[in-house]
């Protein structure tokens, strides 16, 4: 009963303050961004500058053939500004270096072709046809993109020179060496014969849906860590916590009521983002269980950290370091082939993956296992925070 | 006037030293810079991974190792268990006289495309030795991902300085020291500038240290310091407005959270959207700071663009400052 009245009192105070409404406003802004600014399909912004050292008729023929086959489409021509610049290039085979020094500034308009993904028909790469090799090299350097010279010899064989930035991996360079060894027809014929077997029938999130776990995890659960600390330091400054030393109320009830306020805010703001974007796809029971437990665990960590300091500015270093380190697993979330073992020890790793599974209505066992882990971890942190606060009531 | 500014700067420095605040602003970017230095190479080398059987033809394995990271397994069961793990990895395993590509089913399209392409070239017998291709390099060694991380670190440091100014003002308000300023010979402007000097000096040192640690030695330092200083004006304006308009620490925390939006939006638009959509973030000074830093760190900046970006940062910050002037005056009175 005391717990409920504590919670209601805290909610009334929160509703009077500005913060609760910032959370709601933030959720609405993020929802608007997701619905209006983020498309469901991702668009590639890879560029390549090509100089064709061959008769124009052949260039036109090759281009028309790609367009007819649905491998490419014509786009509006694009303007590029060439600025004065000087640089050196080195041929990796011969070691020969060439220095370039351009003093002039000019604007050129380039014919633009969009190369399409053979299976999905979506934009794969934008290719710009440049009229002189010098301009192509200048653009590849200035725009930090790949440049290519395609030259045809007297026997009709095309050879390629790739202009790379220099930081490309050896594996990519090896691929470039073999990429044009065979004719495109031979490659396509062989590709069609490749057998691909999938082990599971799994759903994937589209570009827009893929952002929901990130927003929920970072703007919801993880922000609970920061906000609960702000609440505690606010009360410390006002002397509220010290007042508990002379009341019959238990400190844990006070602490849990703070967490309940965070939970209410996080549940409301996360629902505002998730429901309109994901519709009926996620398992909402699992979603709320996971959301509440993870928010509780991370807010408990915030309470424990707050118990060691008496003002937010003193706690700032630890708080900021923890928040930044919790953001690191986002790299693995976005680059799934980057998944080192050490990254899995960050609590935000299962947090992001758990929300992803929920959005996919996928691996419930993974979500429940980590719900249990977060619950146990959260309880331990909460008990430790309670002990710390009892000890430091008079500080 | 200068003397008074210096007194506030010194006072802030001493009180911040007690709270270890200056250490935080300076040390955190340095620690993060060390993290980026250790972290970026692995992040850059994220070629598609392949799982293969140890019993597979050694030539096949060696061929694939030229183009991807290969993990070897004893049995098909182990191979399939590996594919079913959470990260993206494709398996290539013998299937009769040929090979099959095994996927979990939720990998990104590029993983399937890459595995299919590599096996196609293997079956066609395509090798590096028979190539007619030549590779020419501009000699750049810093990958764009590292540049992006360092640039984000710079923005985070600027934001950190703003946050700390906001928090210190809220705390000063709670302790009524701001009211006390009004009865001293120090003017409100001197108070504002004096407080700003401390945050910006320490943050600037943090940024320079972080840029050096991450290995960007031969960039144009005049440009980076110019952009850094103008970005500081922005963070100071934001910090002051947040601090003075927030009644308590909770409101300041909320404002800090809101500040993430234009920062994240500016980075996302610059990095992900096509040129025709870049205008959508022209209103954000963070966009201009990020753009200028990207060009400076990748050594493609020219003075014209850098000066335009800094002018935009200063101009937009001034607009925000002028619009918020009544609020700042009210907060100080």
Question: Interface pTM (ipTM) of the complex?
Answer: 0.76
Please state, in angstroms and as integers, the Cα–Cα distance from residue B322 to each residue in A235, A374, B193, following that order. 34, 47, 15
Q: In this structure, are A296 and A348 located in the same domain?
A: yes
Residue A147's domain spans which residues? 47-192
Reply yes or no on whether the pLDDT at B19 is more than 60: no
The domain boundary residue, chosen from A192, A222, A242:
A192
Q: Is residue A199 part of a domain?
A: no
For residue range A265-285, list pLDDT tens digits in order: 899 999 999 999 998 889 999
Residue B255 reports pLDDT greater than 80: no
Condensed to tens digits (0 to 9), the pLDDT of residues B117-167 reads: 999 999 998 888 888 889 999 988 888 888 888 998 888 888 777 777 777
Q: Look at A19 and B258 and tell me if their CB atoms are within 8 Å.
A: no
| Residue B53, strand partner residues | B73
DSSP state of A84: P
CA nearest to A139 within chain B: B300
User: Do A30 and A52 sit in the same domain of this protein?
Assistant: no
Choosing from A133, A165, A192, the residue where a domain stops is A192
Does residue A200 lie within any of the structural domains?
Answer: no
pLDDT of residue A395: 45
Provide the pLDDT for residue A328. 84
A31 with A166, same domain: the answer is no
Within this chain, do residues A99 and A139 fall inside the same structural domain, yes or no?
yes
CA B173 to each of CA B168, B192, B247, B328: distance values in angstroms, whole numbers, following the listed order: 9, 14, 8, 13
Locate B193 and state its tokens: 């500038």
Chain A residues in contact with B143 by the CB 8 A cut-off are 167
Residue A320 touches partner B, C-beta closer than 8 Å: yes
Residue B258 CB burial class (10 angstroms; 0-12, 13-18, ≥19): middle
Residue A179 located in a structural domain: yes
Shared domain for A30 and A57, answered yes or no, is no
Judgement on whether residues A97 and A15 belong to the same structural domain of the protein: no
Buried b (16+ CB within 10 A) or exposed e, A25-51: ebbeebbebbeeebeeebeeeebbbbb
Contact (CB<8Å) A198/B255:
no
Contacts of B1 (CB under 8 A, 6+ apart): B190
**Mean pLDDT computed over every residue of chain B:** 81
> In this predicted structure, what is the pLDDT of residue B262?
84
Asked whether residue A238 falls in the same domain as residue A367, the answer is yes
B313 neighbors B154 (Cβ within 8 angstroms): no
Q: How many CB pairs under 8 A join A and B?
A: 266
A197 inside domain? no
Evaluated on CA atoms B88, B93, B95, B99, the torsion sign reads positive
Whether A117 contacts chain B with CB within 8 A: yes
Residue in chain A nearest B49 by alpha carbon: A337
A155 burial (CB, 10 Å; 0-12 / 13-18 / 19+) is exposed
In B, minimum Cα distance to A196 occurs at B101
| CA angle in degrees (0–180, nearest 5) for B49-B53-B55 | 150
Instruction: Tell me, yes or no, whether A74 and A141 share the same domain.
Output: yes
Task: Write the pLDDT tens digit of every residue in B100-110.
Answer: 999 988 787 78
Supply the Cα-derived Rg of chain A in whole angstroms. 29
- Is the domain of A217 the same as that of A284? yes
Candidates B199, B160, B219; CA nearest to B29 is B160
Q: DSSP per residue over A213-279, as a string?
A: HHIIIIIIIHHHHHHHHHHHHHHHHHTHHHHGGGSSS-HHHHHHHHHHHHHHHHHHHHHHHHHHHHT
pLDDT at B12 over 70: no
Q: Which tokens is A339 given?
A: 């998944």
Q: Rounded to an integer, what distance in angstroms lies between the CA atom of residue A29 and that of residue A34? A: 9
Residue A363, phi then psi, degrees to nearest 5: -70, 90
Contact A385, A255 (CB under 8 A): yes
User: What is d(CA B45, CA A343) in angstroms, rounded to the nearest whole number?
Assistant: 16
Handedness of CA B249, B250, B251, B254 (dihedral sign): positive
Lookup: tokens for A332: 């693995």
Residues A215 and A279 reside in one and the same domain: yes
Residues of A in contact with B106 (CB under 8 A): 200, 202-204, 360
Residue A324 touches chain B, beta carbons under 8 Å:
yes
Pairing relationship of beta strands A123-129 and A47-53 according to DSSP bridges? parallel
Which residue from A minimizes the CA distance to B67?
Answer: A171
Residues in chain A where the model's pLDDT stays below 70: 1-3, 118-119, 244-245, 393-395
CA dihedral B130, B135, B141, B142 (to 10 degrees): -90
The answer to whether the Cβ–Cβ distance between A190 and B98 falls below 8 Å is no
In a domain, A186, yes or no: yes
Domain count, chain A: 2
Query: Residue B291: its pLDDT value, please?
Result: 93
Looking at the fold, whether A73 and A31 belong to one and the same domain comes out as: no
On whether residue A351 sits in a domain, the answer given is yes
Look at residue A230 and tell me if it is in a domain.
Answer: yes
Domain end marker among A192, A219, A241:
A192
Task: State the number of CA atoms in the 13 A half-sphere of B300 facing the CB.
Answer: 20
CA distance B100 to chain A (A): 5
Confirm if B53 and B93 have CB atoms less than 8 A apart: yes
Among residues 355-394 of chain A, which lie with CB inside 8 Å of chain B? 360
Report d(CA B303, CA B223) in Å as an integer.
8
- Any domain includes A145: yes
For chain B, domains (ranges, CATH) are 2-40+141-332 (no CATH), 47-130 (3.40.190)
Q: What does pTM read for this prediction?
A: 0.78
Same domain? A251 vs A356? yes
Q: Does A353 touch chain B (CB under 8 A)?
A: yes
Contacts of B239 (CB under 8 A, 6+ apart): B161, B162, B163, B164, B165, B166, B169, B199
**Is residue A178 within 8 Å of residue A162, measured between CB atoms?**
no
């Amino acid at each position: 009963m005391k717990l409920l009245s504590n919670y209601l009192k805290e909610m009334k105070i929160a509703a009077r303050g500005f913060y609760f409404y910032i959370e709601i406003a933030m959720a609405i802004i993020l929802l608007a961004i997701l619905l209006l600014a983020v498309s469901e399909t991702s668009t590639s912004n890879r560029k390549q500058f090509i100089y064709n050292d061959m008769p124009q008729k052949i260039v036109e023929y090759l281009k028309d053939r790609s367009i007819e086959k649905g491998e490419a489409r014509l786009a509006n021509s694009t303007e590029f500004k060439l600025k004065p610049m000087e640089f050196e290039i080195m041929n990796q085979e011969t070691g020969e270096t060439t220095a370039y020094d351009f003093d002039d500034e000019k604007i050129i308009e380039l014919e633009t072709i969009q190369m399409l993904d053979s299976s999905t028909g979506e934009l794969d790469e934008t290719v710009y046809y440049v009229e002189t090799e010098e301009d192509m090299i200048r653009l590849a350097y200035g725009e930090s993109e790949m440049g290519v010279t395609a030259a045809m010899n007297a026997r009709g064989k095309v050879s390629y020179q790739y202009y790379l930035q220099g930081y490309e991996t050896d594996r990519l360079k090896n691929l470039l060496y073999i990429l044009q060894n065979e004719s495109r027809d031979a490659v396509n014929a062989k590709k069609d014969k490749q057998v691909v077997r999938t082990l599971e029938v799994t759903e994937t999130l589209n570009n827009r849906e893929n952002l929901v776990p990130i927003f929920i995890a970072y703007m919801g659960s993880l922000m609970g860590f920061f906000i609960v600390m702000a609440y505690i330091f606010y009360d410390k400054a006002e002397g509220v916590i010290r007042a508990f030393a002379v009341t019959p109320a238990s400190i844990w009830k006070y602490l849990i009521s703070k967490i309940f306020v965070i939970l209410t805010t996080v549940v409301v703001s996360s629902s505002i983002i998730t429901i309109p974007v994901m519709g009926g796809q996620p398992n909402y029971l699992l979603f709320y269980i996971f959301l509440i437990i993870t928010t509780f665990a991370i807010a408990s960590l915030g309470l424990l950290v707050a118990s060691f300091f008496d003002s937010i500015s003193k706690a700032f270093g630890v708080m900021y370091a923890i928040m930044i380190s919790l953001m690191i697993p986002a790299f693995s979330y976005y680059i799934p082939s980057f998944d080192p073992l050490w990254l899995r020890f960050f609590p935000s790793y299962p947090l992001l993956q758990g929300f992803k599974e929920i959005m996919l209505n996928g691996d419930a066992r993974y979500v429940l296992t980590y719900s249990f882990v977060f619950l146990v971890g959260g309880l331990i942190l909460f008990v430790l925070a309670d002990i710390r606060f009892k000890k430091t009531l008079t500080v | 006037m200068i003397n008074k500014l210096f007194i506030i700067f010194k006072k802030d420095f001493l009180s911040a030293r007690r709270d270890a605040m200056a250490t935080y602003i300076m040390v955190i970017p340095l620690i993060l810079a060390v993290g980026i230095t250790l972290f970026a190479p692995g992040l850059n080398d994220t070629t598609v991974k392949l799982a293969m059987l140890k019993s597979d033809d050694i030539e096949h394995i060696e061929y694939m190792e030229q183009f991807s990271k290969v993990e070897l397994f004893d049995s098909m069961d182990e191979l399939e268990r590996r594919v079913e793990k959470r990260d993206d990895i494709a398996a290539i395993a013998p299937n009769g006289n040929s090979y099959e590509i095994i996927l979990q089913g939720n990998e990104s399209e590029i993983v399937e495309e890459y595995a299919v392409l590599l096996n196609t070239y293997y079956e066609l017998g395509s090798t590096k030795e028979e190539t007619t291709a030549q590779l020419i390099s501009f000699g750049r060694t810093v990958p764009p991902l590292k540049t992006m991380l360092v640039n984000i670190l710079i923005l985070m440091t600027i934001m950190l300085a703003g946050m700390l100014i906001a928090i210190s003002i809220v705390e000063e308000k709670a302790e009524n020291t701001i009211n006390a300023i009004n009865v001293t010979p120090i003017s409100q402007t001197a108070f504002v500038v004096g407080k700003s000097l401390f945050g910006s000096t320490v943050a600037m040192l943090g940024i320079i240290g972080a840029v050096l640690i991450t290995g960007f030695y031969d960039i144009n330092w005049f440009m980076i310091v110019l952009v850094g200083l103008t970005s500081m004006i922005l963070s100071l304006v934001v910090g002051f407005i947040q601090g003075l308009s927030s009644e308590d620490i909770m409101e300041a925390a909320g404002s800090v959270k809101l500040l993430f939006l234009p920062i994240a939006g500016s980075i996302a638009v610059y990095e992900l959207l096509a040129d025709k959509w870049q205008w959508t973030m022209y209103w954000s000074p963070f966009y201009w700071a990020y753009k200028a830093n990207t060009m400076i760190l990748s050594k493609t900046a020219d003075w014209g663009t850098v000066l335009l970006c800094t002018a935009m940062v200063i101009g937009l910050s001034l607009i925000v400052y002028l619009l918020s002037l009544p609020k700042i005056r009210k907060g100080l009175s």
